[in-house]
Amino acid sequence: MSHGFDEHQFTWRTSSYTDGGEEQTCVEVGEVQDNPAAPVGLRDSKNRSGGTLLFTRPKWHGFVDFVKRDGYLTEA
């Protein structure tokens, strides 16, 4: 299924909880700048060519709010 977006259009960022060490496992979140209708991408930082999960912005923000609200993320 075509989603109309290429991974190269995304600006990717890695979690601030990642220290960059070899044993770290993390995900990257990608957004298409200046396009609020574009999905949010999620991919494995160690296997970037392994595929990207796409979420609508409302679904992504709902997920992040849920995780923060229910304590799955802790402050460092």
Mean pLDDT, rounded, for 28-43: 90
For residue 35, with 0-12 CB atoms within 10 Å meaning exposed, 13-18 middle and 19 or more buried, which class applies?
exposed
| Cα–Cα dist 17/74, whole Å | 10
Mean pLDDT, rounded, for 45-68: 90
pLDDT band at 75 (very low <50, low <70, confident <90, very high): low
Identify which of 48, 11, 47, 14 has the alpha carbon closest to the alpha carbon of residue 28: 14
